Structure 1
Amino acid sequence: MSKLFTPVRVGRYELSNRLVMAPMTRSRANEDDGVPYDSVATYYDQRAGAGLIISEGVYPSAQGKGYVHTPGIRTDAQVEAWRRVTDAVHSRGSRIFMQVMHCGRVSHPSLQPGGTLPVAPSSIQPPGQTWTTSGQQDFVTPHELTISEIKQVIEDYRQASRRAIEAGFDGVELHGASGYLPEQFLASGSNKREDEYGGSTANRARFILDVLGAMVEEVGGDRVGIKISPEMNFNGIVDENPQATYWELVDKLNAFDLAYLHVALFGAPIDYHALLKPRFNGAYLVGGGLDQASAESALAAGRADATVFGAAFLATPDLPERFRQGATLNEPDRSTFYGGGDKGYTDYPTLQTAKVA
């Protein structure tokens, strides 16, 4: 039997297989209150053949929102909507972690409470645009967080973790990649601070470690994971010595006894998996452009404990069964990735529905 379909221990849980659904922003939440649409429960239920689902990025506070129609976890209404999602996934025997995503400077005043500036470690305008209610808008020069404001953001992550567990999630993942707030602190190009949160690698890593400390204190290390993506360079992120930065960061993660480290690589010039996996004590999740063959190879070689699939799971709800049978996968419709209704969201066929049709 393929190792993909063997159980694996991730934190306090034993997953039924080593197929993980990646966190993917789909922008199916009410714009006014950040409550996920009713169809979100159907979407995740359809994909609950995964041993573990990691939800789309969810903002921990109104300040953390970076895109139109993305969901939050800060209100009772949001918690109730997410509970319908977790109930659906659990009814299928799968596990689900919430990815907590604070976009930091990758936002726009029209998405911020009171039209205020987005926040960041330093007042450096990133290149690019974000989606707002009036279409794409250029990023702006953000507000540099004060120490007291940093402490409040850390507290926001703590409360988001608690609310995620209240909503029935099995754990939480800190989104430390894609140029969002944690990576903005970590990278030398976006962090020019001269206090305890800037300068040396240890200081630049402090925000991530403080956030993880709060999350772990709230829900337990065996229910917390983190995602990183070295040298992805998304949203204007650059670092002067990324290998040393991530080497030091991962060394420090072991103090938290985390459930997992999720490493997604997209065109990195070196093999970060070979660099980082031996340094991490928990489950090591590999993602970034995998297919069945490369996933099985990574597991067989001991380079991964579980493997993470994004677009393949988006377009093929029954991905594990397709892999078991060697069946063809659906093609993803990129025009429906972000926002809209059920088209390109809950209407992808499974092997079973295709036979009925």
Structure 2
Amino acid sequence: MSTKAYAAQSASSPLAPFSLTRRDPLPTDVLIDILYCGVCHSDLHQARNEWGNTVYPCVPGHEIVGRVAKVGTAVKKFKEGDLAAVGCMVDSCGACETCKSGLEQFCETGGTVFTYNGPDRHSGGVTYGGYSENIVVDEAFALKIREGADLAATAPLLCAGITTYSPLRHWGAGPGKTVGIVGLGGLGHMGVKFAHAFGAHTVLFTTSPGKAEDARRLGADEVVVSRDADAMARRARSFDFILDCVSAQHDINAYLDLLKLDGTLALVGAPEHPLPVSAFSLLMPRRNFAGSAIGGIPETQEMLDFCADRGIVSDIEMIGVRDVDAAYERLLKGDVRYRFVIDMASLKGSA
């Protein structure tokens, strides 16, 4: 079926109207009419080929919320009219140990298919994301959204939410733990919300003193301005876990030095260039430097249910699809509190 979308045609061109073809739903597929799509920093990286792997035309978007318009003959999880969501993946091999364990993002065969710029096994070419009217996905990779949810503010949970929820859960953020969140952007503001909701003593690290009040509103117990060397020195060896949400270049050793014995720093931001790590930041005392990538489908559903139970959503700024390039420029400057979300109804009026 012909579908209207917004696409980048090259690394330097602005996003513009584009027509793509979605497959007709297969027996286990759902067709979702997209209502809202979040704007992730990964969208910018891919649209501008900053990771060197973009196939053009590129239709970004992997924070997708909408309503089921059609279901395949064998679909059991959804019916027409249900709310549904799609995150960062639309397929995997399904047979390896990680897939069978619900960790499809780490598929051992390399079979993870991302929502855009991934190999489309059904239609050929590459997958196209959520800056579009609709999407067709196997029901196994669609998530359930409860009626009554704030759909626009729920959309960023499909990436910013699960990207921060998963490592905080995995490394045991909770009562009695001191947890640091580095950066108060799209990822960081969700990290603060989740660390607080899990019951951890939550400390926000920011280069912007003006964000302190907002950080406390979001759930931070303390705010440390990372450019203040004395403030950083006072927190040496005091953290059980630090979640680094920064995609810009920064001094990773300054945060590793804040960890206790056997403390862990997990990186979820994706800086363009490697971060130099001092061996002694890890050796003395024994510390762990780790990474985490989104979450599997079961954990993503768990996260959505957790948020629905507690009224947790992303803080958003709504935009029209024509405003995406301007949003990218503002994203680079950190000028959003804290996630752009596209009202996809705006696509209907695009040229």
Q: TM-score, normalised by structure 1?
A: 0.28
Q: Which has the higher helix share?
A: 1
Q: Normalized per residue, which structure has more strand? A: 2
Is the radius of gyration larger for structure 1 or structure 2? 2
